[in-house]
């Protein structure tokens, strides 16, 4: 991995040294040679799109555009690449082909795409690539690699954000479960883009300026056995600087709280756990958060935490809260909140009632929905495995299809309608209703005039003749914007923070019934009357005519 470079002006630099032209499928080179051998390198148009939304949902967050443009900006074959291809391609491949590859760049390629972070739907182009056939074809797998996981991950994160609500903090804890180091970095980046608030991944924090969060693990607690292991008992008062015995204060508070609030014997609480937290609090008096389920949340962890937290309070500090990593999260979080509230009231410490409660026990989207239904007191979810591995659906399935070559439309037919491509270079517009929400995405031939605000537009299903409707849009938004042209970025790329904000704004423009977890309403993607006729004319021209015998 190399350090990430900010993209500014008209150049781009990839943060990942592995993303280069050889990161592709072998058959694309055999195709490229056959194209070259036949003298076929006309201008072609490819479109990337999805056939189905992930996670049984009805929306997809488009992500990975910045890395695609990094790749395009650096598209060239090195001497070592050429040497490897000479060894790998079939014997008899003409030497002039390798000279041709050595001179390839993306200077004649143009790319149009929606802004990164946009909500997209099946059949809507995520990216339109236009340029010399061989270059555009060689880019296929790499572009799909950069978009598929990124969009899947950002969509997964957005679904967690919707399930949790806007007032719950979401932290990505998935590095150790991710598919390798690159998967871990990508997961952190696109989880943040999709709506998470921070990550445990320190390198991702450095590269992408994502807030990093973390406390301690069970090993820190179990490394302490008894109170005799507390070597430095003193902590200076936050305001006066006068040293006090944090160990003695914590022991005194444990006895007091066990009798007055928690009603559990202080003798049953782990001394090793208390020792661990006294030392941790001494190290981080303004950031004390404790993992309370190492032994027993009710009988040990909660009592020991509150004891140290109140000792810190005496010295002018405020604890942050607790993390629960196992057990009945709704039940335990509510117990913690009741205890915090009781201590706040009894000892007149109002802020104690609002201590943070973090839950991190194999959380997934369904867990959050269930906890919301049960009622809980959790402020923050730490999500790992299910988020970064996208366990509900491990791949997005975006495809990259040629739709036009040298001005001639291309169509791929299939008995399975979703796999039939829509021919020709197209534009796409999002039409909005009077309530500000998106109504329909309309695909048109690139030669058509865009739809107008306030004028009736006929929107047709691309393959089912009876499905059609008129729409009078109150707002029309073109989705495809120029990104790359004549060997340079068209405009500077937005920061990760701006893309994250665009995800939130884009989701707000879609009705809630399209975003709900259970039985979401399908969003309509339609074609213009002209494109509908164009598709079906080509279909009839290319479909073989059967013969009855």
For residue 196, the 8-state DSSP code is -
**Within 315-406, where are the H helices?**
329-346, 365-374, 385-388
Pick the CATH number of 215-378 from 2.30.30, 3.20.20, 1.10.10, 3.10.20: 3.20.20
Q: Would you say 57 and 513 are in contact if contact means Cβ atoms under 8 Å apart?
A: no
Domain ranges of the chain: 26-158+393-542, 215-378
Handedness of CA 353, 356, 358, 364 (dihedral sign): positive
Backbone angles phi, psi at 218, to 5 degrees: -60, -30
Q: Residue 217 CB: number of other CB atoms within 10 A? A: 12
d(CA 440, CA 535): 19
pLDDT for the residue 12: 40
pTM exceeding 0.75: yes
| CB 525 within 8 Å of CB 124 | yes
φ and ψ at 503, to 5 degrees?
-55, -50
In angstroms, the CA 500 to CA 73 distance is: 23
What is the CATH code for 26-158+393-542?
3.20.140.10
- Closest Cα partner for 149 from 110, 178, 108? 178
Q: CA 311 to CA 143: how far, in whole Å?
A: 56
Say how many CA atoms lie within 13 Å of 236 toward its Cβ.
5
Distance CA 353, CA 167 (A): 17
pLDDT, one tens digit for every residue, the chain (549 residues): 334 443 333 334 445 678 999 999 999 999 999 999 999 999 999 999 999 999 999 999 999 999 999 999 999 999 999 999 999 999 999 999 999 999 999 999 999 999 999 999 999 999 999 999 999 999 999 999 999 999 999 999 999 999 999 999 999 999 999 999 999 999 999 999 999 999 999 999 999 999 999 989 999 999 999 999 999 899 999 999 999 999 999 999 999 999 999 989 999 999 999 999 999 999 999 999 999 999 999 999 999 999 999 999 999 999 999 999 999 999 999 999 999 999 999 999 999 999 999 999 889 999 999 999 999 999 999 999 999 999 999 999 999 999 999 999 998 877 666 678 899 999 999 999 999 999 999 999 999 999 999 999 999 999 888 999 999 999 999 999 999 999 999 999 999 999 999 999 999 999 999 999 999 999 999 999 999 999 988 888 887 887 888
**How much is the pLDDT for 546?**
78
């Amino acid at each position: 991995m190399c350090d990430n470079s900010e993209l500014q002006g008209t150049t781009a630099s990839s943060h990942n040294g592995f993303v280069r032209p050889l990161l592709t499928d072998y058959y694309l080179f055999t195709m490229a040679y056959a194209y070259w051998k036949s003298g076929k390198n006309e201008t072609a148009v490819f479109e990337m799109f999805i056939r189905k939304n992930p996670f049984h949902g009805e929306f997809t967050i488009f992500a990975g555009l910045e890395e695609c443009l990094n790749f395009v900006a650096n598209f060239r074959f090195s001497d070592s690449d050429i040497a490897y291809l000479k060894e790998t391609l079939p014997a008899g491949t003409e030497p002039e082909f390798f000279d041709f590859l050595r001179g390839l760049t993306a200077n004649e390629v143009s790319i149009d795409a929606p802004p990164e972070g946009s909500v997209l739907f099946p059949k809507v182009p995520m990216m339109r690539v236009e340029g010399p056939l061989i270059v555009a074809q060689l880019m296929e797998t790499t572009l799909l690699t950069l978009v598929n996981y990124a969009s899947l991950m950002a969509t997964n994160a957005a679904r967690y954000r919707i399930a949790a609500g806007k007032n719950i903090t979401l932290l990505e804890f998935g590095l150790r479960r991710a598919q390798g180091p690159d998967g871990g970095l990508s997961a952190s980046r696109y989880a943040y883009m999709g709506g998470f608030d921070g990550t445990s991944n320190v390198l991702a924090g450095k590269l992408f300026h994502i807030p990093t969060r973390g406390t301690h693990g069970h090993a820190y607690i179990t490394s302490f056995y008894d109170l005799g292991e507390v070597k430095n008992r003193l902590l200076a008062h936050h305001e006066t600087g006068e040293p006090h015995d944090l160990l003695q204060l914590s022991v005194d508070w444990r006895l007091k709280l066990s009798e007055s609030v928690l009603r559990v014997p202080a003798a049953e609480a782990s001394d090793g756990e208390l020792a661990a937290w006294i030392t941790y609090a001494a190290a981080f008096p303004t950031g004390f958060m404790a993992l309370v389920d190492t032994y027993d949340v009710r009988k040990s962890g909660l009592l020991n935490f509150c004891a140290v937290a109140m000792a810190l309070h005496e010295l002018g500090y405020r604890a942050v809260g607790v993390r629960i990593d196992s057990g009945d999260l709704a039940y335990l979080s509510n117990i913690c909140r009741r205890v915090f509230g009781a201590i706040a009231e009894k000892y007149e410490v109002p802020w104690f009632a609002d201590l943070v409660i973090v839950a991190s026990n194999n959380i997934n989207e369904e867990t959050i929905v269930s906890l919301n239904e049960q009622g809980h007191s959790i402020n923050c979810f730490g999500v790992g495995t299910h988020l970064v591995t996208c366990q509900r659906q491990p791949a997005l399935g975006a495809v990259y299809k040629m739709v036009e070559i040298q001005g001639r439309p291309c169509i791929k037919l299939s008995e399975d309608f979703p796999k039939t491509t829509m021919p020709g270079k197209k534009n796409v517009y999002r039409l909005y209703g009077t309530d500000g929400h998106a109504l329909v995405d309309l695909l048109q031939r690139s030669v058509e005039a865009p739809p107008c605000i306030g004028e009736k537009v006929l929107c047709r299903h691309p393959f089912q003749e009876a499905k059609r409707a008129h729409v009078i849009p109150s707002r029309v938004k073109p989705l495809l914007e120029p990104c790359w042209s004549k060997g340079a970025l068209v405009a500077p790329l937005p920061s990760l923070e701006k893309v994250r904000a665009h995800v939130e704004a884009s989701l707000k423009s879609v009705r809630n019934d399209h975003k709900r977890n259970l039985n979401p309403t399908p969003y309509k993607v339609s074609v213009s009357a002209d494109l509908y006729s164009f598709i079906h004319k080509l279909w009839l021209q290319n479909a073989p005519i059967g013969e009855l015998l």
